[in-house]
């Protein structure tokens, strides 16, 4: 809870306690003074911190108690509460239940702090709007009819002034995020009060003449905002990080004209499809995502030369470029690495696409998997097969699993080739798919439901950031690489799969 939220909750607890003071006059005075202070705190909270739907009970209770206390003062009759004992019992009970509900709502939807970057450099951020004149938009409508992208860049900055930028700059998209998770539109409104650690459009740090570029790709139905902590951390260590909102594959993307697009790529997939159709549709989507990366890379060459105005002009080291992504964005990172300008990539728990289109990539790729992802790979490596009972529980068919198994064998072959070129394959014990994004900080309920793993979010974030930084330092800065040598006692959660390959 934020400061005035804590004070407001404390004043409400005091009001509940004062209801049980036996002396009527003392009770009336205590309730008036405490409710008055609580109402003042409420006003300051609204002005300074902003309201939260999760605290609606506190708002109503504080306001009503202040009004009732004023009414009791001006009344000449004796007795603050009705003579009946039922309201005396049910009133405090209702208040107690409301306070408990408030605590639960705060626990489920906290205004959290993103992990602070571990590097020495300050972080700046800027957003670009790119239009590709050579590609038609096939997943929805656009103003120009062409493929349009929003790209947010985090970079090393001179000491900033003023406040950090918000984690979610425009709260309008939060209702779409909630809808994406099947929740009411107001569910994630508290995220508008979460701060990042970046300053808006400040000057690039003069510590180095130029900085390596890293392109990043969110997963299916995700968003660039959900990789903020990773981008900020890399930027604080001397990287320019550009996270691409792949239009119509995000839960929501807002463009400069106010248009908001939502995810439509889910229409490509259906439980009615056979495996081959699903694979072809995934490859179709993947090609668009890969082309997005190549296009954005072209734009950064124009930024570097000054043809696109930006304070990043002349500061992008286009000779040292990396890429990473999560889920299908991780597959995009791998596929985009076929571009000769990209030196190395990281796939965060993403199954590959386009396996039948080209030969295996011989370039260093770091595959970081969830525990569940590892278990699937281990079954394949050990030549295990699902029983009929397991298939029934999964709701899958033997034919589907057998075809998928063939593709997974190709995927293993791709991993082996990247390992031979200096890559690594590992997994995080007790980590699950969404631990690779900032979703893990949004609500502890995700951990309870198993959407994220048993590992603490801060710990998972620290591990992932440490290994990402070490890998990119090794291949883009020719230093580091210590964590790529194998198990490290500082990170017992990290298990290397490479020997099994």
User: pLDDT tens digit string along 286-310?
Assistant: 999 999 999 999 999 999 999 999 9
User: In this structure, what DSSP letter does residue 485 have?
Assistant: G
Segment 325-350, tens digit of pLDDT: 999 999 999 999 999 999 999 999 99
CATH number for 397: 3.40.50.1820
| Token pair belonging to 323 | 């890429």
Does residue 202 sit in the same domain as residue 250?
yes
Confidence bin at 261 (pLDDT 50/70/90) = very high
Beta bridge partners of 127: 152
Does residue 93 sit in the same domain as residue 8?
yes
Average pLDDT over residues 30-42: 88
Q: Is the dihedral of CA 387, 434, 269, 218 positive or negative?
A: negative
C-alpha of 112 from chain center: 13
Q: Does residue 80 register a pLDDT over 50?
A: no
The CA–CA distances, whole Å, from 97 to 13, 88, 146, 393 equal 12, 15, 54, 39
| Token pair belonging to 248 | 């119509």
Tell me how far apart the alpha carbons of residues 10 and 99 are, in angstroms, rounded to a whole number. Answer: 10
Does residue 31 sit in the same domain as residue 155?
no
* Domain C-terminal end among 83, 108, 133: 108
Strands 424-428 and 494-496: antiparallel
Per-residue HEC secondary structure of 393-462 comes to HHCCCHHHHHHHHHHHHHHHHHHHHHHHCCCEEEEECCCCHHHHCCHHHHCCHHHHCCCCCCCCHHHHHH
**Any idea which of 100-109, 145-154, 198-207 has the lowest mean pLDDT?**
100-109
Q: Does residue 88 register a pLDDT over 60?
A: no
| Token pair belonging to 494 | 């990290």
Tally of domains within the chain: 2
Average pLDDT, the chain: 91
Q: Does residue 277 register a pLDDT over 90?
A: yes
Q: What is the DSSP string of 278-292?
A: HHHHHHHHHHHHHHH
Average pLDDT over residues 209-223: 97
Answer for the pair 362, 417: CB distance below 8 angstroms, yes or no. Answer: yes
* Domain C-terminal end among 63, 79, 108: 108
Tell me how far apart the alpha carbons of residues 95 and 21 are, in angstroms, rounded to a whole number. Answer: 16
Strands 122-136 and 316-326: unpaired
Beta bridge partners of 151: 128, 244
Per mean pLDDT, which of 76-85, 199-208, 333-342, 391-400 is the most reliable?
333-342
* 84 part of a folded domain: yes
Average pLDDT over residues 441-465: 94
* 80 part of a folded domain: yes
Confidence bin at 65 (pLDDT 50/70/90) = confident
Does residue 101 sit in the same domain as residue 132?
no
Does residue 79 sit in the same domain as residue 148?
no
Tell me how far apart the alpha carbons of residues 28 and 78 are, in angstroms, rounded to a whole number. Answer: 11
Task: Specify the pTM.
Answer: 0.89
Does residue 423 sit in the same domain as residue 335?
yes
Residue with the bigger pLDDT between 17 and 166: it is 166
| Token pair belonging to 268 | 């490509």
Q: The domain containing residue 131 runs over which residues?
A: 122-500
SS3 category, 321 = strand
Average pLDDT over residues 313-321: 97
Does residue 431 sit in the same domain as residue 319?
yes
Per mean pLDDT, which of 132-146, 293-307, 369-383 is the most reliable?
293-307
Does residue 232 sit in the same domain as residue 324?
yes
* Domain C-terminal end among 82, 108, 134: 108
SS3 category, 430 = coil
Does residue 99 sit in the same domain as residue 54?
yes
Tell me how far apart the alpha carbons of residues 501 and 63 are, in angstroms, rounded to a whole number. Answer: 65
């Amino acid at each position: 809870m934020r400061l005035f939220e804590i004070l407001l909750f404390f004043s409400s607890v005091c009001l509940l306690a004062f209801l049980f003071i036996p002396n009527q006059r003392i009770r009336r005075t205590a309730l008036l003074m405490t409710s008055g202070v609580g109402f003042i705190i409420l006003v300051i909270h609204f002005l300074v911190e902003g309201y939260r739907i999760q605290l609606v009970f506190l708002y109503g209770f504080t306001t009503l108690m202040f009004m009732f206390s004023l009414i009791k003062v001006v009344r000449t009759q004796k007795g603050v509460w009705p003579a009946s004992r039922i309201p005396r019992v049910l009133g405090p009970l209702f208040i107690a239940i409301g306070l408990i509900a408030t605590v639960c709502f705060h626990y489920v939807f906290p205004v959290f702090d993103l992990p602070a970057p571990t590097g020495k450099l300050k972080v700046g951020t800027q957003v670009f709007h790119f239009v590709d004149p050579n590609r038609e938009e096939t997943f929805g409508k656009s103003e120009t009819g062409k493929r349009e992208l929003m790209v947010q860049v985090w970079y090393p900055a001179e000491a900033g002034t003023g406040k950090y930028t918000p984690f979610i700059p425009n709260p309008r998209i939060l209702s779409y995020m909630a809808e994406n998770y099947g929740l009411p539109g107001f569910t994630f409104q508290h995220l508008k009060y979460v701060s990042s650690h970046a300053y808006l459009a400040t000057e690039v740090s003069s510590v180095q003449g130029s900085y390596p570029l890293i392109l990043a790709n969110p997963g299916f139905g995700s968003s660039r905002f959900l990789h903020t902590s990773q981008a900020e951390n890399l930027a604080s260590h001397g990287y320019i990080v550009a996270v691409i909102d792949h239009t119509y594959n995000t839960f929501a993307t807002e463009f400069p004209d106010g248009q908001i697009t939502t995810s439509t790529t889910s229409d490509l997939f259906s439980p009615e499809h056979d495996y081959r159709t699903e694979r072809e549709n995934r490859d179709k989507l993947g090609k668009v995502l890969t082309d997005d990366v190549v296009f954005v890379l072209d734009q950064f060459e124009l930024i570097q030369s000054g043809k696109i105005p930006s304070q990043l002009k002349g500061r992008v080291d286009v000779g040292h470029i990396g890429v990473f992504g999560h889920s299908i964005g991780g597959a995009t990172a791998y596929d985009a690495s076929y571009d000769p300008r990209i030196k190395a990539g990281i796939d965060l728990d993403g199954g590959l696409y386009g396996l039948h289109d080209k030969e295996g990539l011989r370039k260093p790729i770091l595959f970081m998997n969830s525990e569940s992802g590892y278990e699937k790979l281990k079954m394949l490596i050990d030549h295990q097969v699902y029983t009929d009972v397991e298939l029934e529980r999964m709701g899958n068919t033997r034919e589907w699993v057998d075809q998928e198994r063939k593709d997974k064998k190709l995927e293993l072959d791709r991993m082996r080739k990247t390992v031979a070129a200096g890559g690594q394959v590992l997994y995080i014990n007790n980590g699950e798919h969404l631990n690779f994004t900032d979703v893990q900080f949004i609500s502890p309920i995700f951990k309870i439901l198993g959407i994220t793993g048993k590992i603490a979010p801060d710990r998972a974030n620290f591990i992932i950031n440490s290994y990402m930084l070490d890998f990119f330092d090794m291949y883009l800065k020719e230093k580091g690489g210590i964590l790529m040598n194998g198990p490290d006692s500082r990170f017992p959660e990290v298990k290397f799969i490479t020997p099994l390959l």
